[in-house]
């Protein structure tokens, strides 16, 4: 079964509103969580990394004030797209890992398809 | 800087044909992991394989096989006797360990279409 649950799977919102996406680890405590964005027919691009107990580290070009990431607990990370615009329409997918090292398994959620009208 | 290149944007084959998806990576690190994921139209990422940089042994899993060659920085994926259900986008990815923890860099993906 799924070890990382992402919710919602699809969301449609109006321009200017904010949307929150949740990523939960079900069977383990995730010390590290990642958020990716995927535009149609493109690759997955890492947006930010969050480690438990510290603020998220954003990739270059990702606006941290627009994409608020909160590693609220060891089993929950949220991504809030603030004041969404049509260009934010994309597929957002999270992944979680129980340990920060290379040897730790990496589990992906099923993704959230965001459409901003 | 790390980079993963999947030169084949799209591949179309007829069912039962064998198909190889190429993956070339770049990194200065000596310790890393390589992955292959399958992404069907529904969007979720399906894990296929994980291989560490110290293990160059080729692997076979059913109709899937992987060829890892450090000398050419390649990690190619072959599907034998392809089936329509294999149609998907396939991503090769490289994982390194940095100051923020492990980070995964994806290639651009290869859209595989298997026709009946």
- Split at pLDDT 50, 70, 90, the class of B98 is low
Is A86 in a helix, a strand, or coil?
Answer: helix
Which chain B positions have a beta carbon within 8 Å of A93's beta carbon?
43, 45
Whether residue A74 contacts residue A97, with contact meaning beta carbons closer than 8 Å, is answered with no
Q: How far apart are CA A84 and CA B25, in angstroms?
A: 35
What is the rounded average pLDDT of the residues A21-46?
92
- Percent of chain A clearing pLDDT 70 (strictly above): 95
Tens of pLDDT, residue by residue over B44-90, are 999 999 999 998 888 899 999 999 999 999 999 999 999 999 999 99
- Asked if the C-beta of B3 comes within 8 angstroms of chain A's C-beta atoms, the answer is no
Whether residue B80 contacts residue B63, with contact meaning beta carbons closer than 8 Å, is answered with yes
Q: How far is A4 from chain B (nearest CA, A)?
A: 11
Residues in contact with B62: Cβ distance below 8 Å, sequence separation at least 6, in sequence order: none
- Asked if the C-beta of A2 comes within 8 angstroms of chain B's C-beta atoms, the answer is no
Name the CA dihedral angle for A69, A72, A74, A75, rounded to a multiple of 10 degrees.
Answer: -80
Query: Would you state the pLDDT for residue A2?
Result: 60
- Split at pLDDT 50, 70, 90, the class of A48 is very high
- Asked if the C-beta of B95 comes within 8 angstroms of chain A's C-beta atoms, the answer is yes
Q: How far apart are CA B47 and CA A3, in angstroms?
A: 13
**Six token digits for residue A11:** 């969301």
**Six token digits for residue A61:** 């070009």
Whole-Å CA distances, B102 to A21, A50, B44, B56, B93 = 22, 11, 21, 21, 12
Q: How far apart are CA A62 and CA A43, in angstroms?
A: 16
Q: How far is A101 from chain B (nearest CA, A)?
A: 6
Q: How far is B107 from chain A (nearest CA, A)?
A: 7
Which chain A positions have a beta carbon within 8 Å of B5's beta carbon?
none
Which chain A positions have a beta carbon within 8 Å of B52's beta carbon?
102
Mean pLDDT computed over every residue of chain B: 93
Q: How far apart are CA A53 and CA A50, in angstroms?
A: 9
Residue A30 confidence (pLDDT) above 90: no
- Interface mutation target, options A38, A58, A113, chain B, most CBs of B under 10 Å: A38
- Asked if the C-beta of A98 comes within 8 angstroms of chain B's C-beta atoms, the answer is no
Task: List the single residue in B43, B91, B95 with the smallest CB-CB distance to A111.
Answer: B43
Is B54 in a helix, a strand, or coil?
Answer: coil
- Split at pLDDT 50, 70, 90, the class of A115 is very high
Which candidate, A79, A83, A97, A91, places its Cα nearest to that of A38?
A91
Q: How far apart are CA A104 and CA A11, in angstroms?
A: 31
Query: Would you state the pLDDT for residue B87?
Result: 97
């Amino acid at each position: 079964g799924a070890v990382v649950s992402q919710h919602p799977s699809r969301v449609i919102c109006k321009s200017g509103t904010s949307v929150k996406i949740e990523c939960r680890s079900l069977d383990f405590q995730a010390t590290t969580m990642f958020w990716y964005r995927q535009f149609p027919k493109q690759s997955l691009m890492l947006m930010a990394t969050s480690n438990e107990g510290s603020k998220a580290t954003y990739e270059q070009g990702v606006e941290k004030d627009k994409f608020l990431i909160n590693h609220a607990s060891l089993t929950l990370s949220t991504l809030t797209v603030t004041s969404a615009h049509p260009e934010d329409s994309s597929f957002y997918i999270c992944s979680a890992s129980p340990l920060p090292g290379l040897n730790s398994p990496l589990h992906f959620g099923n993704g959230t398809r965001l459409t901003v009208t | 800087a790390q980079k993963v290149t999947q030169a084949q944007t799209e591949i179309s084959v007829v069912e039962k044909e064998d198909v190889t998806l190429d993956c070339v990576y770049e990194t200065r690190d000596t310790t890393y992991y390589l992955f292959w994921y399958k992404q069907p139209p529904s969007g979720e990422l399906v894990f296929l394989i994980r291989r560490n940089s110290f293990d160059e042994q080729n692997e076979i899993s059913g109709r899937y096989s992987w060829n890892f060659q450090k000398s050419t920085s390649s990690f190619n994926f072959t599907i034998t006797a392809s089936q329509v259900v294999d149609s998907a986008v396939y991503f090769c990815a490289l994982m390194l360990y940095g100051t923020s923890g492990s980070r995964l860099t994806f290639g651009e993906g290869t859209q595989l279409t298997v026709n009946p």
